[in-house]
Amino acid sequence: MIPITHYLILSAMLFAIGVTGVIISRNLIIMFMSIEVMLNAANLAIIAFSRSLNLMDGHVFVFLVMAVAAAEAAVGLAIIINLFRNRESINADTFSLMKR
Amino acid sequence: MEQQILTLVTFFPLLGVALLLFVPRDRTETIRGVALIIAFITLLWSVWMYVMFEPVASGMQFEVNIPWIKAFGINYHLGIDGISLLLIMLTTILTVIAMISSWTSIQKAVKGYYISLLLLETGMIGVFVALDLFLFYVFWEAMLVPMYFIIGVWGGPRKLYAAIKFVLFTMFGSLLMLVALLYLFFMYHGFSGEYSFDLMKIYGMPIPLGAQTYMFLAFALAFAIKVPIWPFHTWLPDAHVEAPTAGSVILAGVLLKMGTYGFVRICLPLFPEATLQFVPFISILALIGIVYGALVAMVQRDVKSLVAFSSVSHLGFVMLGMMALNVQGLEGSVLQMINHGISTGALFLIVGMIYERRHTRLIADFGGLLKSMPVFSTFFMIVTLSSIGLPLTNGFVGEFLILLGTYKANPTYAIIGASGVILAACYMLWMLQRVIFGKITNPANESLKDLNPREKLVLIPLVILIFWIGVYPKPFFERMEPAVKNIVAMVNKAGPVNQTDADKPTGADCMIGGNTCVVKADGNE
Amino acid sequence: MEHSLYLILLFPLAGFLINGLLLGRLNKKLISLIGCGSVGLAFLWGLKTFFNLLAVPETERIFNEVLFTWIPSGIFKVDFGLMFDPLSAVMVLVVSGVGFLIHVYSVGYMHDDPGYGRYFTYLNLFVFSMLTLVLADNYLLMFVGWEGVGLCSYLLIGFWFEKQSASDAGKKAFIVNRIGDFGFLLGLFIIFWQVGSLDFAVVFKQAPLVFAAGGTLITAATLLLFVGATGKSAQIPLYVWLPDAMEGPTPVSALIHAATMVTAGVYMIARSNVLYMMAPTTLAVVAIVGCATALMAATIALTQNDIKRVLAYSTVSQLGYMFVACGVAAFAAGIFHLMTHAFFKALLFLGAGSVIHALAGQQDMRFMGGLKRPMKTTFITFLFATLAIAGIPGLSGFFSKDEILWKSFSSDYGSPVIWAIALFTALLTAFYMFRLIFLTFYGEPRMDEHAKHHLHESPKMMTVPLVILAVLSIVGGWVGIPHVLGGGNHFEKFLEPVMGKMTTGATGGHALTSAGHDTATELVFMIGSVLLILAAIYAAYYLYLKNITVVGRIRQRLSGLYKVLYNKYYIDEIYGAIIVRPLINGSLFLWKIIDVMLIDGIANGVAALIGYISSDVRGMQTGNMRTYVTVFLGGAIILMGYFILR
């Protein structure tokens, strides 16, 4: 059996990739996908623990996260499409209305 | 059905909101129609409720009490007495009228507008029916949102300033109210070992004077801002001037009454000792409001802000009568709440009507309208006269009882208050003179169209009510009397300031044997 | 309901509603028919009820009728109840009778006015309100009529609303009346909280039990009611609205501002005689105020040139007389004078209206003169009215005025000073009224050629009411011929059920030396005053007809006094300077400084302060999403590090 550390390292790497993607990318789609990567990294960690501890709670939790991720994807993509329609751009830096 | 009538009246407008969500936004006529029909049916429900209401029975009627959030002892507890009954009637009537009145004047985002009005109606009725403090608070805050949008989206040039001012003032007060509410909640737990926000239960709890004082202040501040009592009134002229006509009507007609209602329903019975302690303080603020509002109204240049300041003056009367803490004062006060809703609502409608024609509200731009718009001017005159309290109109009955009650409590207050009656004549008649009398100096006023049938339809019910309450107010008094007596008894059991027989004439009590007025000491059974 | 008193109110109310709701849809004939007919019917029904009243024994002469409960609030309960007793009967007949004549006259006078329908609507509303006032069986319902007539007065004074001065005058009338009503209301509060009711029957029955006679409370209550009366009946200090009220159409001046409404204060005091008898201080105040007003108004009337203004000040002065009567506890005499005054003063106004009508709106007497010939009916009727008001024996004014003069001397509450001033005022009255006659009807015509050409007698519709009123001005006083002249003084006797107590002295204050004792003195007084009045008339004749230049010389000699009188003692200017102006400036101060700068300044200042602080903090919000994420990540790492390394 593969020890849990392997899973956790993979999960951490995925998470790091996701964070990096959000920070350095200006493209909203890529940022969005990076967020998905982070969610799945968390999913991986949870499922790994669930397996190693022989508990079902983790599975339930992952399903919940997946459902949320799906909903979020739907809403988020809709927002991005509308933004693009209005502004002709999906560059995150152009959306800074809060800045004076 | 009868048991659920309150739920029905309260939430029926929400049904309309749900329906409206499915109507495409560009089908404005359908939207208006649906909203109006829903509001009208709500009015019919409330009329049915009025008919079913037992006039002489004391205590709450149509009570519903089911658990909502059990963990915190929050119940869905509704119920009405005569006071809330009348205020609900006022709400449902004014909502219908507000909707008809904005038939043509609102062209922007019609769907959102009518949804806001319906939400507002639910929020307002909710405040009047809630007997659970938490529920009360929810409705109290909920109605802020639609009103914010009504002012902020469909308002005049300075709408954002006015809307934000309105919300901030109100929030400031209600935050303190929330704190007091929680304090009360935990105190009740300490008293009975049970978690509950139920007003009827908390009524029975003895509260030490110190705690009463603080909680009274917190609640009173929230309500005082809403009323508004001088000097918390400055949001009012701004909100009124900027709000669309229907917004002003609802704002003046109902929203302000939530403040006075809060005093009657919560402050007076819950904190009787504190109330007695603060009577002089609030009375004096009310008197300042009466005189100050009238004086400032006199020199306004904008008709709408004149009416807004006159509201400050009128609401001063309501508070003054309430603080008399006797049957006459309080009944006059409650009636005056209704009267103010009708008369000032009608005044705002009238101002809206000329605004729609001339796109100005400055008094100086008018003059001689009696010649070009005789029907309009006649309505204007009738409503103005009711606002200054001419006998046989509604205003007189309310003001007279208020002053009568106040005289019993403190003659000096009554004398100062009565001077407001003179000042009311001054500012109203002066305004009337400059708007409808005189020669037509501005050519734009010459060819104005008189009222159309829709506008007459809006005003006629209000005029009927003006005379009905003025000539035959007995049905209203019958319904509110048990409730008022309860509250008077609950306050007066507290202290020696006003004994329970404060209601008797000092001269001799022998000759009015047939007409006894024994107030029950235990107000809520 | 056996007497259907409500019908007396219902007729004019129906007239008002029909004319008002169908405004602009009826032709003139129908409007006049409804307008006059409704008042005529009210008069007839009042007359019928009056005969019913006469038919029952004196002690039972009161009909009550409760229509419905008006305001019930705790122990406070007021009914919409009507009462018809001798006093109400007199008032109802005067109001509806004179009112009917004036309605008929108006049909002619207002014939060409575009606001014809509106005029009759208001007029009917007025009659309704006035009848409510006199028929009410409690103070609050009386107050309804009280304010109602004030409203109609406001509407009718400002009837020609396009005239700035007219709408100003209307507003002034209403507001000044409101000041009086303020007192009235407070008086009601005292009475209610002492007695526990506002019904006349209860109040008058209980008052002696709950009030200490002459005590502070009863004095305060009666004084406050009197404040109301000074407003409505144009007494010092609230008389200022009445002269301005002449801006209204002349029939309105006749009906409201001479015959009926302005006498409401007298009626109210006479009605409350039980209360006033318990407050001697108030009685003295009433007498003094009445006396002062009578004198002051009469002096002003000496110098005015506007025919209607002379009559207006004369009205104020005559009302002062009535208050003198009330003040010396001769309430019946006050009501008697009220009635005769209603006849002759209405006639004077209508006559003046006829003159103005003929001269196409000219009201200045300096441009009249010589109207005797072209306007015969008007002149003759006017002359009778003038003789009546001057107090020439045999005419109505003589009996009522003489009664007041005599009572002001002989009553326990009277005094020689009051009597002397009243007598002097009577001389002034005779003088200025004949000045008016001579300037208007005698001498050379002073109007321009065009107007002279157009001179004409008024139509029948106007002259017939004049003639009827002239007859009433002559015979109206015969119902109250005093014992000393061999009459029975039936009028006073008729009113006894209402005011009887004081003549019998039951309330302790033995009021009047019963008539007949001092017959000789009374006769001497009477003859003396008549002679003096004749002298005053001769003086007017001498100054204004025979030797006109003398007037100018007198005027020059007394130019200071003349100026003061001509400018009405500058009362309007004084009120303007000490009340109106400070009020408006003070209000502006409250608005601009207190409201906008102080209160709103604090509110906005707090907001600005918060805004100022936030604008510094705001820099952190770059609006760049990636910055947020980085900061967020940093925070997360720090937190994690804290938990790991702890």
How close C623 comes to chain A (CA, Å)?
Answer: 4
Chain A residues touching residue C626 (CB < 8 angstroms)? 22-24, 26, 92-93
Q: Which of A15, A20, A22 to mutate to test the interface with C (most CBs of C within 10 A)?
A: A22
Measured in angstroms, the CA of C118 and the nearest CA of chain B are apart by 11
Which residue, among C223, C243, C253, has the nearest Cα to C172 in the 3D structure? C243
| Identity of the residue in C624, C629, C633 whose CB atom sits nearest the CB atom of A93 | C624
The helix (run of H) or strand (run of E) holding residue B63 is strand B61-69
What average pLDDT is seen over chain B? 87
Q: Which residues of A touch C625 (CB under 8 A)?
A: 31, 92-93, 95-96
Residue C547 has pLDDT above 80, yes or no: no
Q: How far apart are CA C595 and CA C82, in angstroms?
A: 48
pLDDT at residue C25 greater than cutoff 90: no
Phi, psi of C528 (to 5 degrees): -60, -50
Length of chain C: 646
Tell me the per-residue pLDDT of B440-463, one tens digit each, with 9 for 90 and over.
888 888 888 888 899 999 999 999
Per-residue pLDDT, averaged over C390-415, amounts to 86
Question: Is A2 or C326 the better-scoring residue by pLDDT?
Answer: C326
A26 interfaces chain C, CB cutoff of 8 Å: yes
| Tens-place pLDDT, residues C162-218 | 888 888 899 999 999 999 999 999 999 999 999 988 999 899 888 888 888 888 899
A31 vs C contacts (CB less than 8 Å): 625
C591/B299 CB distance under 8 A: yes
Under DSSP, the state recorded for C513 is: P
Annotate B2-50 with DSSP letters as a single string. Answer: -TTHHHHHHHHHHHHHHHHHTS-TT-HHHHHHHHHHHHHHHHHHHHHHH
pLDDT tens digits for range B317-336: 999 999 999 999 999 999 99
Residue B349: is its pLDDT beyond 70? yes
Question: What CA–CA distance (Å, rounded) separates A49 from B197?
Answer: 44
Give the separation between CA B84 and CA B82, rounded to whole angstroms: 6
**DSSP strands (E only) in B70-179:** 74-80
Residues 6 or more apart in contact with residue B428 via CB below 8 angstroms = B310, B384, B387, B388
Q: For residue B165, which residues of chain C lie inside 8 Å, CB to CB?
A: 603
Assess A92–C contact: CB distance below 8 Å, yes or no.
yes
User: C193: which 2 tokens?
Assistant: 């909280």
- A83 touching chain C per CB within 8 A: no
B171 in reach of chain C (CB within 8 A): no
Compute the distance between CA of residue B393 and CA of residue C76 in angstroms, rounded to an integer: 19
Whether B234 and C195 lie within 8 Å, measured CB to CB = no
Please report, for residues A13, A18, C18, C622, the alpha-carbon distance to residue A21 in angstroms, rounded to integers and kept in the order given.
12, 5, 84, 20
Neighbours of chain B (3+ CB pairs under 8 A): C
Chain C residues with CB under 8 Å of A22 CB are 626, 629
pLDDT tens digits, residue range B262-279? 999 999 999 998 999 899
Residue B105: its pLDDT value, please? 85
Which residues in chain A have Cβ-Cβ distances shorter than 8 Å to C630? 23
Q: What is the pLDDT of residue B517?
A: 37
CA distance linking residue B40 with residue B49, whole number of Å: 14
CA distance A46 to chain C (A): 18
Please report the beta strands in C12-117, taking only residues with DSSP state E, as ranges in sequence order.
63-73, 76-84
- Which pLDDT score is estimated for B383? 94
d(CA C172, CA C241): 6
Residue that the structure tokens 């508004």 belong to? B228
Q: Give CA–CA dist C100/C127, Å, rounded.
A: 9
Q: In 3-state terms, what secondary structure has residue B65?
A: strand
In sequence order, the 6+-apart residues with CB closer than 8 A to the CB of C92 are: C8, C46, C49, C50, C84, C131, C134, C135
Chain A touching partners, 3 or more CB pairs below 8 A: C
Q: Is B169 on the interface with C (CB under 8 A)?
A: yes
Paired with B80 in beta bridges are B61
Are C277 and C219 contacting, i.e. CB atoms less than 8 angstroms apart? no
CA of B297, closest CA in chain C: separation in Å?
A: 8
DSSP-based three-state secondary structure for B60: coil
Q: Please name the residues in contact with A64: beta carbons below 8 A apart, sequence gap of 6 or more.
A: none
Instruction: Tell me the residue type at C330.
Output: A
Residue B523 has pLDDT above 60, yes or no: no
Find out whether C160 and C166 touch, Cβ atoms under 8 Å.
Answer: yes
Omega cis (within 30) before B280: no
3-state secondary structure C389-425: HHCCCCCHHHHHHHHHHHHHHHCCCCCHHHHHHHHHH
Q: How confident is the model at residue B120 (pLDDT cuts 50, 70, 90)?
A: very high
- Evaluate whether B61 touches B483 at the Cβ level (below 8 Å): no
Determine the residue among B166, B302, B313, B407 to mutate to test chain C binding: the one whose Cβ has the most chain C Cβ atoms within 10 Å: B407
CA closest to B295 among chain C residues: C587
Instruction: Write out B344-356 in H/E/C secondary structure.
Output: HHHHHHHHHHHHH
C628: closest CA of chain A, how far (Å)? 9
Question: Looking at the predicted structure, is the pLDDT value of residue C429 above 80?
Answer: yes
For the cut 80, the answer to whether the pLDDT of residue C27 exceeds it is: yes
pLDDT band of residue B494 (cuts 50, 70, 90) is low
Is residue C278 within 8 A of residue C327, CB to CB? The reply is no
- Cα–Cα distances in Å, from C523 out to B30, C321, C518? 89, 20, 9
Min distance C614 CA to chain A CA atoms (Å): 12
Q: Are B438 and C210 an interchain contact pair (Cβ–Cβ within 8 Å)?
A: no
- Exposure string over C238-254, b if 16+ CB within 10 A, otherwise e: bbbbbbbbbbbbbbbbb
Give chain C positions within 8 Å (CB) of A95.
623, 625
Residue pair C465/C471 in contact (Cβ under 8 Å)? The answer is no
The nearest CA of chain C is from the CA of A31 a distance in Å of 9
Q: B516: pLDDT confidence band, cut at 50, 70 and 90?
A: very low
Q: How far apart are CA B473 and CA B400, in angstroms?
A: 13
Q: Is residue B329 within 8 Å of B405, Cβ to Cβ? A: yes
- As beta bridge partners, residue C68 has C80
Q: What is the pLDDT of residues C56-92, one digit of tens each?
A: 888 888 888 898 999 888 888 899 999 998 899 999 9
Say what the pLDDT of residue A100 is: 52
pLDDT for C503 equals 44
Go through chain B and tell me how many residues it has: 525
Q: In angstroms, rounded to a whole number, what is the distance separating the alpha carbons of residues B318 and B326?
A: 13
Chain C residues in contact with A93 by the CB 8 A cut-off are 624-626
To the nearest whole percent, how much of chain B has pLDDT over 70? 94
Closest CA to B384 of B421, B354, B411, B344: B344
pLDDT in tens, C277-322: 899 999 999 999 999 999 999 999 888 888 899 999 999 999 998 9
